[in-house]
Structure 1
Amino acid sequence: MNVTWTLGFPTGNEKGQYLTMDLGGTKLRVCWIKLNQRHGQTELDQDVYQFPSAVKTSDADTLWSFIADSLQDFVGKRSLQGTAENPLPLGFTFSYPASQDYIDHGVLQTWTKGLAIKGVEGEDAAGQLRDAMAKRNLPIRLVALINDTTGAMIASAYNDPDTIVGAIFGTGCNAAYMENVGSIRKMKIDLPPDTPMAINCEYGAFDNAHRVLPRTKYDVAIDEESPKPGEQSFEKLSAGLYLGEIFRQILLDLYERQVVLKGQDATSLKQPYALDTGFLSALENDPLPGVKAQFAELLKLKPTDEELWLCHRLAEIIAIRGARLCTCGISAICRMKGIKSGHVAADGSVANKHPTFKQRWAQAMGEVLDWPQDRKEDPITITSAEDGSGIGAAVIAAMTEERARQGNMVGIRQQK
C-alpha cells in the first residue's frame, strides 16, 4: 500500500485551469481542464495518443520521448501559453505501483498491464518526465503524480461528498481510501495524527506468495505466461484484462480434450488474449444469434446450441468469481475503517459495462458485511466514478497548489 501525499478530500471550491495526462496500458490521454467549483460545469478538452506497439517493450528514453512529443503536440494545437516564469500546471495520472516521497515524485516499483519498458522500474518516473520536457523546453510544471484510484476518489468527491472509496474494476483491480496519518506506521510525518491522506492500496498484488487464494490450472498458466510471473496475483483472478483469457484457456482445454467444437479449426482460439470481457458479457446476456455471430467473427468457430450453453455458464462462473473477489478489497477497507455507508466511486470497463457486475458485487458485500437480508436498500453502493485520470488529476493539482499557497509544503517538492 502506497502513500500518495494527497491530503484530505476536496472542499468543492477548487478552480483553475490544468493540463492533465493519463498513461494507460495502450494509450496516452492528454486533457486541458477548467475547474469551476463543485456546482459549476467542469470544462474538458482532450486528445488520445495511441501507443506504437514497439513502445510497450522499449526503453525509458523511447517512452518519455513519445509522451513529451505528445504533450508538445497537444499544447501546440491549442496555443496554450505557458512561460518559464508561469508554466502550465500538470497533473500526471501514472496508474502503476509507485513509491512517493513527495506528491510530484514516484519511483516505479513494477510495470503492470502488460508493459515491460526497460529503465523505468526503480527510477523516479516524474523525474524522467521532467527531463524529457526540459529537452523540448516545454513550459510545463509537474504539480502532482497520482494513481487512477486516487484520482477516481477525489474527482468523485469533488461533486459527491458521500464518496468513501475510489476503485478500479477494469483492465486492472485496485482501490484508494483515506487513512489518518497517525495510522501510517511506515512513515514519519509532521502533521496532526488525524490528518487524512489518500492511500493507494495496490491490492492487485495481494497474495503474490499464493498462500491464501485458490487457483485453477488456468490461473497458473495465465500467470506463468504473463510478462510478470508471480506478480499481480489478485488482479489476474479478477481484472478485466484476464477474464476473457481465463475463458479462452478453459475453452481451448476442452477443445483439445475433444469435449467441444469437434473437428473445427481452432487456430484463432489458440491466440492469447483473443477474447475480452465484452465477449463474456455477450455470452451471458446477448440473444443466441448474436453470440453465434461473434464466435464466427472472432474465432471462426460454429458452436452448437449445447456448446453455447456451456460457454454461457463458463462466462457466468468466471464473472461471478471476479465480482466476488472485487468485493473482498472494498469490504476489507470498510471493515478496517468502520465505514457503514457511502459511495464507492468505481471506474473501469468491468464496473461500468458488464451488466451484472454491480448486482453480484452488492450481493457479496451484503454477505461479507452482514447486511440485513430484508434491507430496503444497500448502505454502501457503487457509483460511476467521475473522470479520475483527468478531472481527478486536475483537482489534486489544484489542492496541491492551494496547500503551497497556504505554506503547507509537507509532501511538496517542486513548487517554484
Structure 2
Amino acid sequence: AAAGHVLRLGVCQMQSSLQPLCLSLETLRRVKDRMLEAMERGLSHRTHTQATVRMLPTFIRATPDGTERGEFLVLELGDTDLRVLWQGGRLGSGRGATSALLIPSLAPQLFAFMATCLCEFLDGLRTRQTDFELGFSFPFSCRQTRLDQGYLISWTKGFKCPGVEGRDVVELLQSAINKQARYHIKVIAVVNDTTGTMMSCDASAGPCEVGLVVDAGTNSCFMAEARHVEVVEESDGRMGVVTEWGSFGDNGALNDVLSPYDHQVDQGSLNPGKQRFEKMIGGLYLGEIVRHILVELFSGHTTPALLTKGLVQTQDILEITDEQVGLATAQRVLRALGLEASDQDCFSMQQVCSAVCLRAAGLCAAGLAAILSHMCRNRELPASPVPGSPLVPRFSETLQQLVKPLAPECEVTLVQSDDGSGKGIAMVAAVASRLAAQRLQVNQTLALLQLSPDALGKVQALLRREMELGLKKETHAMSSVRMLPTYICATPDGSERGDFLALDLGGTNFRVLLVKVHSREQGGVQILSEVYSIPPNVAQGPGTQLFDHIVECIVDFQTKQGMMGHTLPLGFTFSFPCQQTSLDQVRGRGDRRC
C-alpha cells in the first residue's frame, strides 16, 4: 500500500506550511517582554497566585565555589527511568545505576520502588557505611518551604500517579526509605532537575547562576536577589528560583504566536490549554508538531500511520536535522509512515524538522533573554549553562546568536553542563552542608553575645532600679540613668496651628526650618528648610562663636524666605545632655545658661 503514495512537495506549499513557525526578531522581542512581565508577576507577593510563570523559590542560597567536599547519594527521577548515583571525594566522579521506570498506579508504589532501587544500589557498592545523605532530583513543579520540603503542585509531561499532588514528596520518599530498615538514609534536599543542571557547572570557570533545560519538556532557573522574591521571608543574599516557564502563555499571552499545529497538538494532549510554552519546545511534543505539518503537506495522500498519534519520535527529528544522516533518516521515517518519498521530499522533511527545532531554540532564547534582563538590572551576569543533548546540533549556537540582540545590555556565556542534574544534586547537598558548617561556626562565635531570657530579665531589673533612682530627688545625683525632665507636659492633639521656626543641630551641620501647621483641609503641615554647615573652627571654638554663627544662618534663612521683621516662636533641637529648668531654659556644664 505504501508504494501507492508517491509525494511531490512544491516550494510554495512548503513555504506556506512553515510560515507560522518563522518568528521574526521583533516577534521574539515581544515574547521576551511578555515573559519578563509574567516573571515579575510570579515574584510579586501580590500577584504570585495568579501568575502563569510561578517563579518557585528553591531555598538554595549559593552556587558551588569549588570547596565542596563530601559523599552523597543522588536519586534522579526521569521521565522513563530512575537513576541512583554515588558522588564522593571532590564530587567530580561517582558510580551510578539506572532502572527502567514503570509508572505505578498509586503513590506508595512509586516511592517504594524508589526506596528499593536505593537499597539495591547500596547493596552493590558493598560498603560498610550505613548512614547516607541523599539529594532527590524531582523534575516537577513543587512549592518548597525549605530545602528538604517540597509539595507537588501538579504532574506534567504525561506523568500521572494519583495521591501525590499536594503532598510533600520528601516526606513520602523518607517514609518509604525508613520502611526498608536496611540503611539510614536522610533526604537533605529536593531539587528540580533544572536547578541541578545549573549547580553541575564547573566552579573553576566562574560562578554559574542561570540554568536551562530542554528535554522532554523545558524549564529554567536562576539565582535571584532574595529581596525580589517576595513570596519568601528571606531578603538578604540570593535565592535560587525555578521559573516553571512551561506554563507561560496559558493565559493567552502567546495566542498571536501559536500556529495551527500547536493548537492541534494541545487538543490531543493530556492537559489541553496547559503548558503552552512547553508544548512548542519540549521533545515530548516536537514529534507531534512535525506529524501535523506532514498531514497538511501530504493532504490527499495520508496513511493510517501518518494519522496515528505518537509515531513520529523526537529522536527521529534530531537525526533528520543532522547533515550527515538526515536524508536517509527522513526516507526511513516517511516509509514507516506508509509514504514513498522522493529525494526532494526527504529534503523537505528535513526542512520541516529544522524549522520546528529552530523555532524551539528561538523561543528558548526569548525566555533566557527575559531572565538575563531581569538579572542585569542588579548585577553582572555569570555564565549560563545549557544541558547536554540539545535539540539540534546548533542549538547552543542559535541561542547565543539570538540572546545577544534580545538582551543587548547583558553579557552571557553559554556552557555545557556536566552529567545533567546528577552531579548538580550532589553539589546542592554539598553547598547546603558547607553553609550549615559556616552557620555553626558563626553561631559559636556569636554565642558569647547572646543573652538568655534570665539575663535579659536581670538587665531589665537593673535598668528599672537605676531609672527609679534617677527619678527620686534624694537619689538622683547617684543614678547612672539621669532621667532628665524636659518640661514637655502634653503630646499634640491635632488642634495646633501657626508658623514656627525650628533649629535642628547635628554634628557638622544644622538645619533651619520654617514649619507651617494648618488644618488638613488647608494643606496640613508644610516645611521649608535649608542646611548650613558648621566650620571646624566654630564647632571647636567658644560657645558664643557657635551661637553667633547659628544666628547669622537664621538671618540668612529669614532673608531668603522674605521673613525679615517677622516675629515667630522658635524651637531648638539640641542633641546633648542638658539640665532643663523650664521648657525654654537649660543649664550646661559649670551652671552656665545656654
TM-score normalised by the chain length of structure 1:
0.85
Q: CA deviation at 1:254?
A: 3.3
SS at match of 2:421: helix
Residues in 1 aligned to 2:350 and 2:401: alpha-carbon distance in whole angstroms: 21
- In the alignment, is the contact (CA less than 8 A) between 1:82 and 1:139 conserved in 2? no
- In the alignment, is the contact (CA less than 8 A) between 1:295 and 1:302 conserved in 2? no
Q: Does 1:124 align with 2:162?
A: no
Residues in 2 aligned to 1:327 and 1:227: alpha-carbon distance in whole angstroms: 27
The residue that corresponds to 1:160 in the other structure is 205
SS at match of 1:64: helix
- In the alignment, is the contact (CA less than 8 A) between 1:177 and 1:199 conserved in 2? yes
The residue that corresponds to 1:207 in the other structure is 249
- State the AA in 1 paired with 2:118: L
The residue that corresponds to 1:381 in the other structure is 413
Q: Does 1:111 align with 2:155?
A: yes
- In the alignment, is the contact (CA less than 8 A) between 2:388 and 2:418 conserved in 1? no
Q: CA deviation at 1:300?
A: 4.5
1:283 pairs with one of 320, 334, 338: 320
> Is the alpha carbon distance of 1:174 and 1:118 closer, same or farther for their aligned partners in structure 2, counting shifts above 3 Å?
same
Number of residue-to-residue matches in the alignment: 382
TM-score normalised by the chain length of structure 2:
0.61
- In the alignment, is the contact (CA less than 8 A) between 1:324 and 1:361 conserved in 2? yes
* Mapping for residues 395-410 of structure 1, pairs under 5 Å: 395-407=427-439
Q: Does 1:17 align with 2:71?
A: yes
Between Structure 1 and Structure 2, whose CA radius of gyration is higher?
A: 2
SS at match of 1:327: helix
Q: CA deviation at 1:393?
A: 0.8
Moved more, 121-130 or 382-391: 382-391
- In the alignment, is the contact (CA less than 8 A) between 2:327 and 2:350 conserved in 1? no
1:6 pairs with one of 37, 60, 81: 60
Deviation string 1:130-173 (CA, Å, 9 cap, x unpaired) is 11111111411101110111111111153431423111022221
> Is the alpha carbon distance of 1:269 and 1:384 closer, same or farther for their aligned partners in structure 2, counting shifts above 3 Å?
same
Moved more, 325-334 or 238-247: 238-247
Deviation string 1:226-275 (CA, Å, 9 cap, x unpaired) is 222222211101122211221012212333x21xxx3x7x3333332222
Q: Percent identity?
A: 29
- State the AA in 2 paired with 1:282: E
Residues in 1 aligned to 2:337 and 2:308: alpha-carbon distance in whole angstroms: 9
Q: CA deviation at 1:60?
A: 0.5
The residue that corresponds to 2:284 in the other structure is 241
> Is the alpha carbon distance of 1:181 and 1:408 closer, same or farther for their aligned partners in structure 2, counting shifts above 3 Å?
farther
Q: CA deviation at 1:395?
A: 1.1
1:60 pairs with one of 107, 113, 124: 107
Q: CA deviation at 1:67?
A: 0.9
Higher RCO (C-alpha 8 Å, min separation 6): 1
Deviation string 1:390-411 (CA, Å, 9 cap, x unpaired) is 11111111111233333469xx
The residue that corresponds to 1:28 in the other structure is 82
1:73 pairs with one of 120, 138, 144: 120
Residues in 1 aligned to 2:371 and 2:127: alpha-carbon distance in whole angstroms: 41
Moved more, 340-349 or 62-71: 340-349
Deviation string 1:345-366 (CA, Å, 9 cap, x unpaired) is 1114325xx2121222222212
* Mapping for residues 296-311 of structure 1, pairs under 5 Å: 298-311=336-349
Deviation string 1:13-37 (CA, Å, 9 cap, x unpaired) is 0011110011011000100111417
Residues in 1 aligned to 2:330 and 2:373: alpha-carbon distance in whole angstroms: 44
> Is the alpha carbon distance of 1:293 and 1:312 closer, same or farther for their aligned partners in structure 2, counting shifts above 3 Å?
closer
> Is the alpha carbon distance of 1:283 and 1:172 closer, same or farther for their aligned partners in structure 2, counting shifts above 3 Å?
same
- In the alignment, is the contact (CA less than 8 A) between 2:316 and 2:333 conserved in 1? no
The residue that corresponds to 1:43 in the other structure is 93
Deviation string 1:21-56 (CA, Å, 9 cap, x unpaired) is 11011000100111417xxxx12100000112x53x
> Is the alpha carbon distance of 1:300 and 1:34 closer, same or farther for their aligned partners in structure 2, counting shifts above 3 Å?
farther
- In the alignment, is the contact (CA less than 8 A) between 1:82 and 1:140 conserved in 2? no
Residues in 1 aligned to 2:335 and 2:205: alpha-carbon distance in whole angstroms: 42
SS at match of 2:70: strand
Deviation string 1:269-308 (CA, Å, 9 cap, x unpaired) is 3332222333223333245752355326743532122322
Residues in 2 aligned to 1:344 and 1:5: alpha-carbon distance in whole angstroms: 20
- State the AA in 2 paired with 1:76: D
- 5+ residue gaps, structure 1, are 372-377, 410-416
* Mapping for residues 172-191 of structure 1, pairs under 5 Å: 172-189=217-234
Q: CA deviation at 1:388?
A: 4.3
Q: Does 1:223 align with 2:263?
A: no
Moved more, 143-152 or 387-396: 387-396
Residues in 1 aligned to 2:189 and 2:327: alpha-carbon distance in whole angstroms: 49
Residues in 2 aligned to 1:241 and 1:194: alpha-carbon distance in whole angstroms: 39
The residue that corresponds to 1:195 in the other structure is 237
- In the alignment, is the contact (CA less than 8 A) between 1:156 and 1:388 conserved in 2? no
- State the AA in 1 paired with 2:269: S
- In the alignment, is the contact (CA less than 8 A) between 1:181 and 1:194 conserved in 2? yes
The residue that corresponds to 1:170 in the other structure is 215
The residue that corresponds to 2:6 in the other structure is none
- In the alignment, is the contact (CA less than 8 A) between 2:147 and 2:189 conserved in 1? yes
Residues in 2 aligned to 1:289 and 1:370: alpha-carbon distance in whole angstroms: 37
